[in-house]
Amino acid sequence: MKNIFVLLFYIIICLKGYAENHVISVIDKETQKPIPFANVCFEGLETSVKHYEVTSKEGIAVNPVKEESEIAISYVGYKTVVDTIQPNESKTYFMEQDLFDMEQVVVTGTRTRKVLAKSPVLTKVIINTELTEAGAVTALDALEYSIPGVQFSPDAHGDNLQIQGLDNDYILVLVDGNRMVGETRGNVNFDRLSAENIKRIEIVNGASSVLYGSNAIGAVINIITTDGKYMKPFQATVSSRYSANNELLTTANVGFSEDKFSMTLNGFRSSTDGYDLTPESPASYSVDKNTDYSGKIRLGYKINNEFSVNAHGTYYQHEITNPEKSTKSTHDLNKNYTFGGKVQIIPGKKHSLEFKGNADIYNAFTVYEKKDDEKGKDSDYRYTTLLFTDAYQPNEKLEIVGGAEINFEKIYSLNLFGEGEGEDEHAHDLNAFAQVDYLISKNFEVVAGVRNTYHSNYGNHLTPKVSLMYSPGKFKFRGNLANGYKAPTLKELYYNFDHHGMFMIYGNPDLKPENAFYTSLSGEYTKKTFNISLNTYYNSIRDKIESVDRINSETDILEKHYLNVSEALLKGFESYLSVYVIRNLVTKIGYAYSDAEDKSTGLQLYGNSKHSGTFALTYKLSGVKFPFSISLNGRASSGRLYQEAETETNEETGEEITTITRDESSAYSIWKLTYNQELQIAQKIRSQVQLGVNNIFDYTDKEDLAVIDPGRRFFAGIKFIF
């Protein structure tokens, strides 16, 4: 009772300076202290006119509305408060801490907006503040240090990604729900996105083909970028970060919002001198010197509360420079164009309609340095999607999502499909899907869905799934049964590639689609400052497509043929533990065990690591005059298993002889320390200073090259927020 009187007295004193205005006060529910610098957004319910305020050091903001409005109050580490407020009304709001971001809204697991704590599909989320605290530069940095079981190694074709033993072809990467295409060999370049523009990353492991179609057998990674929602009339950031090997990243972001219209402009430039882990071959580097440029525009127009339109466009360029001792007279240049839009219609309280279109275009060029840098196009990969969805919620217990999707895929290549003038191959698929989400009781929810895909090469294919969630008290138990589907890629179907006379790669037009049966069971327990979860999974993939090596007896040249030769069985578990040791100190530990077996040979899938883990220890102090954080992040893995079976035919007997090779790289761990300091330079200008050291113990893998990392390097950065 005494605390309540003290709080009321404090509020009355603070309100003296606002006597002529009607105000809101924002208070920490647990400590009863005001929350300064909280973001407050007001939006008129009739006119959609927006106003923005930031709470003062006393946790107070003016109420400027002239009509009944929605008010949204947000602050890092707290649950967002949404309410309605009247003109000339003063209110006090008590914000609760969201220690484990369980109130974060996610969309990937169900294609509908769900609070993370109430999502029936297990979803791992990495939010923007975690990226900053860990010193992440790209989405891949965040994934490696947050999700055990993620392996990657960069090469000239992009980032070779593995999750739970499955590579790029089985992992669907989305940006704001749209497919992200990569090099024609399937690799996605995560450098296209700067961590500066990432709002959060959602990861759903296992088969998700019901909602996302082909390729979503191993995992779906959805990178959500910053948007214009709750944006101030004007806001801007400029940042720069420097590290070893002349690695320099510069970003600039500008946002405008006026009544119903919003626009954001994002751009970055990154460059590095590269590095070489094999000095015995100085003519080629492990990571080449390169320069990247990117620019993005996003436009939004909200006509009224029932109708809104959004459009976006992105340009990205990646250019490589050869090492000084290289004898090559050409180098690679890649360009990416992405554009699309969305129309959202909410005809009533029960329906939400969305019409989306997106095109992602990847071009690869050879630059001829002795011909005044003349460019020759090597390949052109285009993926276009048209999508319609209707989310229907007749009551609080039932939600139905249905939709139709059309995908067009086309690849042009100068030499992948045979020597000559260049050829192109294409495919398309038509999809219809539906999902029912029913809350049977307060603690029990079931989700069931089905998708029918008509592929231009393979006809119809039906994919079902069912998910369950039981939530007794502080526990949550989730179960998932789903079928996965993956059509052969265009390269697997039509490859006819001569790799400089060293070997040939042949596609196979007779390939069959791959099918998966996925099941998982997870348990989660949360109690105030403690969260622990365990997820077990079983993923059986039939008709798995593999590249089979054969020696041509006539030419004595190695040939690689794509065949449906195997069944893969992946089983294992993942566990996460998050604990607030004290109020501002949190530790997060993740561990994953993955047994990824090729059933036709009994060997592990190529490059799989059975054991991996992540660690983070972060101390952060917010809501004070000089907020800061210091974070120690680590990732560790057992050796990558390189097990292969090569078959040759005896010329005399005709007998096939299979030779098995088993190699394993060294186990490793890499650690990073990052310090972030926030400073208030002027009334409306803040800065964030970042200092850190990557790979503290200077680990390099010069023998196996299973981990591509140059060793210990310090970094420093600064960001200005207007």
Average pLDDT over residues 209-224: 90
State what percent of residues in the chain have pLDDT above 90: 52
Q: What is the pTM of this model?
A: 0.88
Torsions phi, psi for 203 (to 5 deg): -125, 125
Q: Alpha carbon of 196 to those of 139, 218, 477, 648: distances in Å?
A: 10, 27, 34, 51
- 138 with 74, same domain: the answer is no
- 540 with 578, same domain: the answer is yes
Q: How far apart are CA 132 and CA 136, in angstroms?
A: 6
**At which of 40, 69, 95 does a domain end?**
95
- 211 with 230, same domain: the answer is no
Whole-number pLDDT of residue 18: 47
Which region holds residue 158: left if phi is over 0, alpha if psi is between -120 and 50, else beta?
Answer: left
pLDDT tens-place string over residues 290-339? 999 999 999 999 888 889 999 999 999 999 999 988 888 999 999 999 99
Q: How far apart are CA 537 and CA 530, in angstroms?
A: 24
Residues 6+ apart with CB under 8 A from 642: 606, 607, 661, 662, 663, 664, 665
Which residue in 238, 240, 237 sits closest to 250, CA to CA?
240
Residue at 100 is within a domain: no
- Among all chains, which residue has been given the structure tokens 């526990």? 475
Query: What's 45's domain CATH number?
Result: 2.60.40.1120
- 202 with 236, same domain: the answer is no
- 593 with 714, same domain: the answer is yes
- 419 with 475, same domain: the answer is yes
Q: Alpha carbon of 262 to those of 49, 310, 409, 413, 442: distances in Å?
A: 12, 9, 32, 39, 39
Do strands 514-527 and 475-486 pair parallel, antiparallel, or not at all (unpaired)? antiparallel
Query: What's 429's domain CATH number?
Result: 2.40.170.20
Whole-number pLDDT of residue 230: 61
Alpha carbon 69 to chain centroid distance?
34
Query: What's 176's domain CATH number?
Result: 2.170.130.10
Average pLDDT over residues 165-171: 85
**At which of 66, 95, 124 does a domain end?**
95
Average pLDDT over residues 166-170: 85
**At which of 71, 95, 119 does a domain end?**
95
Q: Domain total for the chain?
A: 3
Burial of 347 (0-12, 13-18, 19+ CB in 10 A): exposed
Q: How far apart are CA 31 and CA 457, in angstroms?
A: 63
pLDDT tens-place string over residues 251-295? 999 998 887 888 999 999 999 999 998 888 888 888 899 999 999
Q: How far apart are CA 492 and CA 547, in angstroms?
A: 9
- 634 with 666, same domain: the answer is yes
Q: How far apart are CA 451 and CA 453, in angstroms?
A: 6
Tally Cβ neighbours within 10 Å of residue 188: 24
Which residue in 415, 517, 426 sits closest to 464, CA to CA?
517
Residues 6+ apart with CB under 8 A from 428: 406, 407, 408, 409, 455, 456
Q: Which domain holds residue 237?
A: 220-721
Q: Output the CA torsion sign for 153, 159, 164, 166.
A: negative
